Amino acid sequence: MITAGVDMGIQTIKVVILKDGQVVARSKAASGFEPTKAAEQAFEEALKTAKIAKADVAQVLATGSGMDMAPFANGTTSMMGTDAKAGVHLFPTARTIIDVGAEEARAVKCDERGIMMDFVVNERCAAGAGTFIEAMARALEVKMEDMGPLSLKAERASPINASCVIFGESDVVTLIHRQESKPEIARAVFDAMADRVSAMVHRLGVNPEVVLVGGVAKDVGFVASLKRKLGINILIPENPEYAGALGAALIAANRAKGAQK
């Protein structure tokens, strides 16, 4: 059976094509101003890579904050549900999935079937999410992808306010004026984010194993800070940014099977 998942993220759209439980293609595109068009293109591209005709796809499910903007999908499924499904698929022992994306961070508790049992979402503020790194990198005048490696050079972190992206940015400017070292400021940025995310996870209860997914899971600086804060090992899959799309494709397979019965 062939199914597909489309994760309509705020910054990036991700597509996964699944054939009999195996990922056969991935693609992504910037959401931009026309997310529907971008999603269609990304879907076409993934089909081409997998050498699969659209008609052979049994079901397509959309997820992500723009899930309503993928008209070619057969339905939608929540981001928390896809996190749980993908997390347990990737690591069968996973019981807590943390997903840090561009504008949102969330944590999901699940059972061995990948059914979500509880979840928390960061409260209407991007200070715990990827955008925070982007804003801070801008203030530090370094590339966003260099922030992580830079932070690993620091022994300690500068003090920083993480309650808000805007205030955080002015804090960073103050630190720059005080001539604190860039690595220490970078580490402070990740520590601050990890503080927010770990507080959120603690509200849910930390049930091992813990899996980290979402675009920010690729940032070595954030991963190091989060591991320090939580004090436990964190599992990170390859291609963590595709977890949402993968979960959607897995749920699509379940639904398609259910429909066959």
Contacts to another protein by CB under 8 A: 65, 76-81, 113, 115-121, 123-124
Please, which residues bridge with residue 2 across strands? 19
Q: Is 210 left (phi over 0), alpha (psi -120 to 50) or beta?
A: beta
Please, which residues bridge with residue 12 across strands? 30
CB 252 within 8 A of CB 74: yes
Helices and strands in the chain: count of H runs, count of E runs: 8, 10
Residue 120 tokens, joined: 């928390």
Query: Shortest gap between Cβ of 18 and another protein (angstroms)?
Result: 20
Query: Shortest gap between Cβ of 117 and another protein (angstroms)?
Result: 7
Q: In sequence order, what DSSP letters do the residues of 71-138 get, joined into one string?
A: TTSSEE--HHHHHHHHHHHH-TT--EEEEE-SS-EEEEEE-TTS-EEEEEE--S-GGGSHHHHHHHHH
Name 3's Cβ contacts closer than 8 Å, sequence gap at least 6: 17, 18, 57, 58, 59, 60, 61, 249, 250, 252, 253, 256
Query: Shortest gap between Cβ of 84 and another protein (angstroms)?
Result: 9
- Choice between 123 and 141, CB closer to another protein: 123
- Choice between 115 and 232, CB closer to another protein: 115
Query: Shortest gap between Cβ of 60 and another protein (angstroms)?
Result: 16
- Choice between 187 and 196, CB closer to another protein: 196
Residue the block writes with tokens 């929540």? 78
Query: Shortest gap between Cβ of 255 and another protein (angstroms)?
Result: 12
- Choice between 81 and 148, CB closer to another protein: 81
Query: Shortest gap between Cβ of 113 and another protein (angstroms)?
Result: 7
Q: Rounded to an integer, what is the distance from CA 112 to the centroid of its chain? A: 21
- Choice between 189 and 251, CB closer to another protein: 251
- Choice between 181 and 207, CB closer to another protein: 207
